[in-house]
Amino acid sequence: MKTILGISAYYHDSAACLVRDGEIVAAAQEERFTRKKHDAKFPHHAVAYCLREGGLRLEDLDYVGFYDKPLLKFERILENYAGVAPRGLRSFLTAMPMWLKEKLFTRDLIQNALPGLRAPVLFAEHHESHAASAFYPSPFSEAAVLTMDGVGEWATSSYAVGRGRDLDLLAELHYPHSLGMLYSAFTYYTGFKVNSGEYKVMGLAPYGQPKYVDLILDKVVRLKEDGSFKLNMECFNYLHGLTMTNGVFARLFGGPPRKPESAVTQREMDLAASVQVVTEEIMLRMARHVHRETGMDNLCLAGGVALNCVGNGRLLREGPFKHLWVQPAAGDAGGAVGVALTIWHKVLGNEREPGPVGDAMKGSYLGPAFPDAEIERFLDSIGAVYEKLGTDALIDRTAQLLASECVVGWLQGRMEFGPRALGNRSILGDPRSPKMQSVMNLKVKFRESFRPFAPSVLREHVSEYFALDEDSPYMLLVAPVRETRRIPMTAQQQALFGIEKLNVLRSDIPAVTHVDYSARVQTVHSATNPVYHTLLSRFHALTGCPVLVNTSFNVRGEPIVCTPQDAYRCFMRTEMDYLVVGSFLLDRRRQPPRREDGDWRKEYELD
Residues taking part in catalysis: 12
d(CA 532, CA 379): 23
The DSSP secondary structure of 7-21, one letter per residue, reads: EE-SSSS-EEEEEET
In this structure, are residues 480 and 466 in contact, taking their beta carbons and an 8 Å threshold? yes
In this structure, are residues 167 and 146 in contact, taking their beta carbons and an 8 Å threshold? no
At 519, give phi and psi (nearest 5°): -155, 145
3-state secondary structure of 64: strand
Query: How is residue 431 annotated by DSSP?
Result: T
3-state secondary structure of 404: coil
- Single-letter amino acid code for the residue at 482: R
d(CA 183, CA 465): 31
d(CA 216, CA 280): 13
In this structure, are residues 4 and 14 in contact, taking their beta carbons and an 8 Å threshold? no
**Residues shown for the chain:** 607
> Measuring CA to CA, which residue among 565, 563, 558 is closest to residue 602?
558
Count H helices and E strands in the chain, helices first: 20, 21
Strand partners, 426: 410, 552
> Measuring CA to CA, which residue among 508, 503, 525, 507 is closest to residue 517?
507
> Measuring CA to CA, which residue among 182, 197, 147, 191 is closest to residue 299?
147
3-state secondary structure of 63: strand
Query: How is residue 443 annotated by DSSP?
Result: I
d(CA 440, CA 447): 9
At 444, give phi and psi (nearest 5°): -115, -55
3-state secondary structure of 157: strand
d(CA 315, CA 283): 7
